[in-house]
Amino acid sequence: MTIEYKTSGFTGDEIRQAARIQMQELKQGFLSSLGEKPLSLIFAHAASSRWGMLVLARDTEQGRVVGYVFGAVDTGRFYKDFLFKRALPAMVHFLPKLLSWQRLKKALETLLYPARKRPNQVKLPPAELLDLAVDGAYHGTGIAQKLFEMFIEKCRERGLSSFQIPTTQGLDRAHRFYEKMGAYRVASIEVHRGQQTYIYQYNIQE
């Protein structure tokens, strides 16, 4: 098994493969419920926007993407940039998925949460690791750890000293992984009503 880690030059097919991994591995997430095309649009923007970051893990022998990590230098600005530059395709792909009030409400909560006040006035870095997932067949191979390390390097290149990691309550495996990597929990917020999200922070060493 030979794994290549790509930080640029993604093909459209590689972006779509990453979207499918999220739908497969993070079924409970709001973004996964949007479907492949909306997810691909978000990932493509993370790859091209100055506010976004994307790393793909690709099995060169199999010729396919097997994991990814994506995030933002500043999440609020990333979402604004996405809406400004991709409004038309976003409407085409997102609107059919947002016809129900519940999904529309979750979409608004997702877009607005970066601007909300944190509990106890916790000051968090604007940069975020928004998503990390690895194909189930490749769990336990060290790909997740390498993707995390690659994300740290991407942050370092942007001059960032720390980033936050939002994770849904109940995702114990993810919590253990981030804690193992050196992140620590600093807050708990309610992004979607009735569902707690734990906020981890990772400080980048010099």
Q: Tell me: the pLDDT tens digits for 77-100? A: 998 888 777 655 655 555 545 444
pLDDT at res. 189: 72
Dihedral angle sign, alpha carbons of residues 83, 89, 93, 99: positive
Helix axes 75-85, 87-94, angle to 10 degrees: 90
Q: Tokens 């990590």 correspond to what residue? A: 69
pLDDT of residue 176: 94
Can you read off the two tokens belonging to residue 133? 């997932």
Residues 141-189 pLDDT 10s: 999 999 999 999 999 999 999 999 988 877 888 999 999 999 999 987 7
117 has pLDDT over 70: no
pLDDT, tens digit, 9 for 90 and up, residues 6-47:
999 999 999 999 999 988 887 665 565 666 787 888 899 999
What Rg value do the Cα atoms of the chain yield, rounded? 16
Residue 13 token pair:
């097919």
Q: Hey, is 29 helix, strand or coil?
A: coil
pTM above 0.75, yes or no: yes
